[in-house]
Chain A
Amino acid sequence: MKKAFFLAVLFVGLFGLFTATSVHAANTIKVGIVDTYTGPATSYTQDALDGFKMAVEKINAKGGVLGKKIEYTTRDEKFKPDIGLAMAKELVMKENVDILAGTINSGTALAVSDFAKKEKMPFFVFYSKSEKIIGEKGHRYVFNMNENTEMAGRAAAVALAKKPYIKYWIAGDDYEYGHAIADAVWNNLKKTKPGVQLLGQSWWKVGEADFTPYITQILAAKPDFLIVATGGSGMVNFQKAAKATGLVQKIPFYQHTANELGTLQPQGKDAPEGVWGTSNYFFYYPETPANKAFADEFMKRYKRYPKASGLVGYMTARFIAEGYRKAGKIDNEALIKALEGLSLESPVGPLAIRACDHQLELPTYWGVTKKDPKYDFLVSGETIVIPPKDYMPTCEEVLKLRK
Chain B
Amino acid sequence: MVSKKGKIWWIAVLLVLCLVPLILPRFYVYLLSVILLFGLFAMSNNLPLGFGGIYQLHHAVFYGVGAYGTALVITKSDLSPWLAFLIGPLIAAALGLIMGLICIRLSKLYFGMLQISLGSLVWAFVYRWYSFTGGDDGIHGITVPDIISSYQGAYYFALIITGLSLYVLYRVLKSPYGIALQGIRDNPVRSAMIGVNVRRHQLLALIIAAFFAGTAGTLFVVVDNTVFPDMIFWTLSLEAVIMCLLGGWLTFLGPMLGAAMIVVIRTFVSTYTVYWALVLGIIFMLVIFFLPNGVLGWVEDLYKRRKNVADMKE
* A85, B139: Cα distance in complex, Å: 13
Q: Are B267 and A86 in contact (CB under 8 A)?
A: yes
Contact A1:B274 (CB < 8 A) given known A89-B27, A176-B137: no
B253 touching A81, Cβ below 8 Å: no
Please measure, in the bound complex, the distance between the C-alpha atom of A262 and the C-alpha atom of B259, giving whole angstroms.
38
Kindly identify, within residues 266 to 282 of chain B, every residue whose CB is under 8 Å from any CB belonging to chain A: 266-268, 270-271, 274, 276-277
Given A21-B25, A81-B230, A137-B141, also A176-B136 (CB < 8 A):
yes
Known: A8-B13, A110-B138. A81 touches B300 (CB 8 A): no
CB distance from A122 to the nearest CB of B (A): 18
Interface window among B2-10, B87-95, B165-173, B284-292? B2-10
SS of A interface (majority): helix
A86 near B34: Cβ-Cβ < 8 Å: yes
Asked whether A193 is an interface residue with its Cβ less than 8 Å from the other chain, the reply is no
Complex Cα gap A113–B226 (Å): 11
B190 at interface by CB-CB < 8 Å:
no
Task: Say if the beta carbon of B206 comes within 8 Å of chain A.
Answer: no
Question: CB-CB < 8 A to A179: which residues of B?
Answer: 130, 135
Evaluate contact between A93 and B137: CB separation under 8 angstroms: no
**Smallest CB-CB separation from B20: which chain A residue?**
A15
Whole-angstrom distance between the alpha carbons of A337 and B205 in the complex? 57
Interface size class of B (residues with CB under 8 A): 35 or more
Within 8 A of B (CB), among A388-402: none
**With a CB–CB cut-off of 8 A, which chain B residues contact A174?**
128
B30: which of A7, A14, A93 is its contact (CB, 8 Å)?
Answer: A93
Contact bitstring A3-43, B, C-beta under 8 A = 1, else 0: 11111101100110111011000000000000001100000
Tell me which residues from 45 to 100 in chain A have a Cβ below 8 Å from any Cβ of chain B: 73-76, 78, 80-83, 85-87, 89-90, 93-95
CB < 8 Å neighbour of B299 from A3, A17, A21, A80: A3
Q: A89 near B231 (CB under 8 angstroms)?
A: no
Contact assessment for A82 and B231 in the assembled complex, using a CB-CB cutoff below 8 Å: yes
Give the contacting residue for A1; candidates B3, B16, B230, B264; CB below 8 A: B3
CB distance from B293 to the nearest CB of A (A): 13
User: A11 touches which one: B128, B231, B260 (CB < 8 A)?
Assistant: B260
Contacts of B28 in A (CB 8 A): 15, 18-19
Query: Other than the known A18-B264, A75-B271, A81-B230, what 11 A-B pairs have Cβ atoms closer than 8 Å?
Result: A7-B13, A7-B253, A7-B257, A76-B270, A82-B226, A87-B270, A90-B271, A111-B228, A114-B141, A132-B137, A174-B128
Q: Which 9 pairs across A and B sit closest by C-beta, in order of nearness? A: A93-B27, A76-B274, A1-B6, A4-B9, A94-B27, A81-B228, A111-B226, A175-B136, A114-B141
